[in-house]
Chain A
């Protein structure tokens, strides 16, 4: 795989495709994400963002293409890849009869954590602001608290890479700010973050690189400035650039 992917790529997808019936959800997608980056993945509803994350995590099998995560070929080293990544998926099911602490302990065991589980679980709950609710049943949690718990679960194995599908969805502004600060801190500690989001200001605040997907195809990739230069618009904000790039059938005409 080393001849396909640059050594600085921590996530590499080559010619990734997935169809549902006749509809191409992801169409020949190629991605290079460098180590230490916060990569924002934008796209309208149904553009293929969630499918891409599922393909990158191995939850969904691609029709075509390869995924390399941290120099590990996903199709052959799924367990090793699972140890390297933390994921907040789109579908957020929880065991409502468990307490927050039991839930994280269960996943810590699944990830093979054996020592100081309580200490690690409490550290993650503290990180997401749920330590005081560690003995509360998840069934009593609000949507925002579930989002935080999902993020704590994604961090339980101390991952090198975080793949987040709308991690601040349903959070109030303070909750969004808290998560953004946490993501910045994690990135400062060396964690690479792949962030799928609808919130353009969130992406502007956090991301060093941005990819825009439309109708399954990656229509643009680069920094905010580079994306702005791809359009003839006067207003080169991310919002205007995003609307421009996704309004013409996903085909870039610049």
Chain B
């Protein structure tokens, strides 16, 4: 049953040009970054590995922000446009409903990743790290987005409002991105070190640094960064299951 929800979402994204707009915005941002990296006097002096790291971080941040904005309305729009009642009058389980929506959000990530591929290939040309660059951006991005979308869907089911879900999700992404902005001195602090170790975005960036700058390309050399991301996904899935159960208890109409 979930495939019909997935298909409907993709059809809606195409008909309303929503996804197309996001993909155009993403390619403009990547093009602008690439232009700066090539033409700006100081940035053009960066080592190729530093340039690749910067580009991979930009790809992941842009994808996280676009997915956050898109996923924040994918469920709540059903409540706000009064389509949730008709959709749940059909013999559709919340599991199928969520899975269909989940696949639609992941499809947008896949499309964003495809848009970023030419930039990755050009930035890493002549380097032996092209495949590692592609593979780790795909793996880390997918793990981060799976966890983030699970969180956004859980918040959507609990709040049932696009505005509130989007605000909560954007604040959460900003908080999770904070350790990446910590200076080296601040990172010496025990508390910020702990935060960095469990923070999914910081672990994504640390793993990319490990792969692209330090040439530690095997999964064994990156497990300490990937494990917190897997834990983040698992935790967010538990939160989503809790929200889905609460939704089943409350019913489709919360208040009249």
Contacts and interface: CB of A to CB of B under 8 A. Distances in A.
Interface of A: 20, 25, 50-51, 54, 57-61, 78-80, 82-83, 85, 87, 89, 91-95, 97-98, 102, 106-107, 109-112, 150, 153
Nearest to A81: B91
A216 to B, nearest CB: 12
A110 B87 contact: yes
Contacts of B252: 59-60
Contact of A93 (B81, B93, B256): B81
Contacts of A50: 256
Contacts of A106: 4, 8
A60 B251 contact: yes
Nearest to B78: A93
Contacts of B89: 57, 59, 82, 85, 87, 89
B85 interface: yes
Nearest to A110: B90
| A-B pairs with lowest CB-CB distance, top 8 | A93-B82, A93-B83, A91-B82, A110-B90, A79-B91, A82-B91, A97-B15, A61-B251
Contacts of A83: 91
Contacts of A82: 89-91
B25 interface: no
B85 A93 contact: yes
A95 B12 contact: yes
A25 B87 CA distance: 24
B92 interface: yes
Contacts of B91: 78-80, 82-83, 110-112
Contact of B250 (A61, A97, A112, A150): A61
Contacts of A98: 11, 15
A109 B1 CA distance: 8
Contacts of A59: 85, 88-89, 251-253
B86 A93 contact: yes
A98 B16 CA distance: 10
Q: Which among B86, B87, B91, B249 has the greatest number of chain A C-beta atoms within 10 A?
A: B86
Given A89-B86, A92-B82, A97 B16 contact: yes
B189 interface: no
20 contacts: A50-B256, A57-B89, A59-B85, A79-B91, A79-B93, A82-B89, A83-B91, A87-B89, A91-B82, A92-B82, A93-B85, A93-B86, A94-B83, A95-B12, A98-B11, A106-B4, A107-B86, A110-B1, A110-B91, A112-B91
Interface in B1-48: 1, 4, 8, 11-12, 15-16
Interface string B204-239: 000000000000000000000000000000000000
